[in-house]
Structure 1
């Protein structure tokens, strides 16, 4: 009986391993962008130059996959050096104290073909809060340069900066509390 149970355990582990595919983002073709309204009349946009996404994809049922991404706030880029330095300061991201933002998924629900609601916990500025995002599968193709299958995913959402204590001294009349995010990622199997 012990041999049968051991064999079943090995089979279960083997099936689980084969049902998982780890996808990692290509830094040259992946980015997280944001937009926030300034003075109630204009969007200010930027991105984080250092961001990565990992998907532990369940090949049998994608909704069982685990998704996480990590961002280095010190890599913020709005194309205005003085503004970038201010955003890195204690007035906003305080990158010396909080060098990373991390998202870990808790669940994934299919909405329609290639569209999912992505639920998880976001750690930003020392605060962890549950967030709801949209995940879109953009397709797969073989990259003619690397010969690897490349998968495209997009993450969309809106966050409140006040939920994470970012820029508390700047009222909404100056900088909107709502921040729209868009992440575009190309991933290959690890």
Structure 2
């Protein structure tokens, strides 16, 4: 059976994160420029091979000063490490619409394995005849595993930033003609 290629519908997709700030609340952000491509042998995505490239400089936390700080060497160092990359290694079907997606995440030239939870929301054809597949993705990583170590001690104890990043995404893929 021939593989089916799927490409990202960026206008109907988002990729975001949350991190603890001052130990009392979360700061959220997103990446506005990214690409996802998938190859499958069937429409249930149980054997999908997926690659995602993220333009780190497109980080947006709704605060320009913070975004500039996140782009510098204290965090992502976008001058020398402009992209993050995820390459899937395995898809584990949990039930009819839930998967565990395993893969390698590269940030700042450091590659580590990660596990993401994926809910496959289904497949539909839009009014223009495009076949689309929708997914909700979530996961957690420790930023220090990728050398993102910046922090500051608080006078009251604790630290300014949590180590855990919560990842979330809404991804819509478009089936390509064979």
Give yes or no for the alignment of 1:152 onto 2:134: yes
Choose the corresponding residue for 1:70, options 53, 77, 81.
53
How far residue 67 of structure 1 moved from its aligned partner, in angstroms, is 1.3
How far residue 62 of structure 1 moved from its aligned partner, in angstroms, is 3.2
1:148-181, Cα deviation, whole Å (9 max, x unpaired): 1111012210010000011x13157211000001
TM-score relative to the length of structure 2: 0.91
Aligned to 1:8: none
Gaps of 5+ in 2: 153-157
Aligned to 1:175: 161
Choose the corresponding residue for 1:139, options 105, 122, 129.
122
Structure 1: distance between partners of 2:100 and 2:41: 16
How far residue 91 of structure 1 moved from its aligned partner, in angstroms, is 0.5
Report 1 or 2 for greater relative contact order, CA contacts < 8 Å, sequence distance ≥ 6: 2
Structure 1: distance between partners of 2:130 and 2:118: 22
Greater fraction of residues in helix: 1
1:130-154, Cα deviation, whole Å (9 max, x unpaired): 111112111121212x321111012
Structure 2: distance between partners of 1:153 and 1:164: 26
Question: Is the Cα contact below 8 Å between 1:63 and 1:107 reproduced in 2?
Answer: no
CA-based RMSD:
1.4
Question: Is the Cα contact below 8 Å between 1:30 and 1:52 reproduced in 2?
Answer: no
1:5-31, Cα deviation, whole Å (9 max, x unpaired): xxxxxxxxxx3x2xx111111111111
Where do 1:108-127 residues align within 5 Å? 108-127=91-110
Give yes or no for the alignment of 1:184 onto 2:170: yes
Give yes or no for the alignment of 1:165 onto 2:147: yes
Structure 2: distance between partners of 1:60 and 1:148: 14
TM-score relative to the length of structure 1: 0.86
Gaps of 5+ in 1: 1-14
Relative distance call for 1:74 and 1:161 in structure 2 (3 A) is same
Size of the alignment, in residue pairs?
A: 171
